[in-house]
Amino acid sequence: MAFSGAVAAGLAPDGGLFVPEALPDLSGKLAAWAGLGYPELCTQFLSHFATDIPADELGKLVATSYAVFDRPEIAPLLQLSADAHVLELFHGPTLAFKDIALQVLGNLYARQCAIRGETINVLGATSGDTGAAAIHGLMGRPGVAIFILYPDGRVSPLQERQMACTGAPNVHALAVSGSFDDAQAVLKQLFGDGAFRAGNRLSAVNSINIARILAQSVYYLHAWLRLSALERRTATFVVPTGNFGNVLAGWMLQKMGVPIHGFRVATNKNDILHRLFSTGEYRVGAVSPSLAPSMDIQVASNFERFLYYSLGRDPDRVRSVMEELASKGMYRFRDFDRDSFTSSRCEDVEIPGIIRQVHRAHGYVLDPHTACAFKDLGNGPSVILATASPAKFPDVIMGAIGIQATHPSLEALKARPLVRHKIVADAAPIRAFIESHAVT
């Protein structure tokens, strides 16, 4: 299937995830790409996958996507100390790293609608930031409706307002009973209903959409190219993650010939990924609400792509592992290959102290997710991914350092009415809601 078709479908017909047929070797391109700005670098990178989109059209699409960011660097790389760099990924319209991919995805959807002359209904589940970024990439676009499922009461108030206060008639924020994993399970069930999916022209906006992962690979490449020669050989990228998509994007780039030294998976107390990389066992547990809500996940959907590459690109072996995970809720890997991953776990009680410590040492304010990445930093250079603006979590910041973290776009939301639809985490009522509000 061509790139645009995979983007429009989101999820493969058999319920699996799309992956590129082959990963390109980019090692010979790196020297020439070192001086490129972010949009130009993104265009060059995506051209290896989006081969069905003319080069000039792809370049304009990417440039339009990043014109809405408030920093010309898109993803500025700051140096806090001799060994610690921070890669700021929150300068898009919803102040979170998801904007970097979802602005591109929104324009890809718009292009698809225009070319095919068809409408599209976009469905996503979110633990906080994905929903807002997806909505802001698609709100008001003709021929598109977007339905975002999020766990009721388990996202921050400002995250919810970014989803439910847009005023756009094509946006539907669905507050689902239960956890993010419950919402994600319903999403996969709906996509597994072929007739419903085709009849409503559904597409997935989660990081299960391959365009999301590929667009996120670019900020690793952009940052790596800006490190010194020594740092390029030795730096570890430290990534706050729950759904595994963020760090998978960097790991896939490494498999394309970019010699990144390693990755640290930074989890909060919902530590399924830390347990995996510590013990070789993937065991699903209960989700506990935390101060870092976007990481409150136990079923990491992008783990399936990691399996594919780790198991010799054998879809039958992947299917077998996924079936065992579904039936038993766990899988123990024999001779588990951690590759270049390490991991850490951060408790809620530690987060305010880390925020205080970094602010005291460097005058820098972390959001609670990025704070988790500062836990157990090792020796040697690190690039810590700052995944959200601290302004999205003002209560945590005020409690930690006594500073009122604000942003004008968030303050404006407080005066707008909250338009959300409370619904149980069950496929039948959500299916009915989508059918009654879908664009046709």
211: nearest Cα among 98, 113, 79: 98
Token output for 375: 């836990």
Token output for 279: 């013990």
**Exposed / middle / buried, residue 257 (Cβ in 10 Å: 0-12, 13-18, 19+):** middle
**Three-state DSSP class for 435?**
helix
Token output for 426: 């069950």
Q: Provide the edge-to-edge strand list for the sheet that holds 421-423.
A: 202-204, 120-125, 144-151, 171-176, 421-423
How many Å apart are CA 428 and CA 281, to the nearest integer?
Answer: 34
**Rounded (10°) CA dihedral 263, 265, 189, 332:** 90
DSSP conformational letter for 171: E
178: nearest Cα among 124, 133, 131, 127: 127
CB atoms within 10 A of CB 371: 31
DSSP conformational letter for 293: G
The residues that bridge with 341 in the sheet, in sequence order, are 263
**Three-state DSSP class for 151?**
strand
187: nearest Cα among 148, 213, 156, 129: 148
Residue corresponding to tokens 């602005």: 103
381: nearest Cα among 221, 228, 220: 228
Sign of CA dihedral 430, 431, 435, 438: positive
Provide, for the chain, the percentages of residues in helix, strand and coil under a 3-state DSSP scheme, each rounded to the nearest 5. Answer: 45, 15, 40
Token output for 241: 């993650």
Active-site amino acid positions: 98
As a whole number of Å, the CA-based R_g of the chain is 20
Do the Cβ atoms of 310 and 337 come closer than 8 Å?
A: yes
251: nearest Cα among 171, 162, 314, 342: 342
**Exposed / middle / buried, residue 153 (Cβ in 10 Å: 0-12, 13-18, 19+):** exposed
How many Å apart are CA 294 and CA 74, to the nearest integer?
Answer: 22
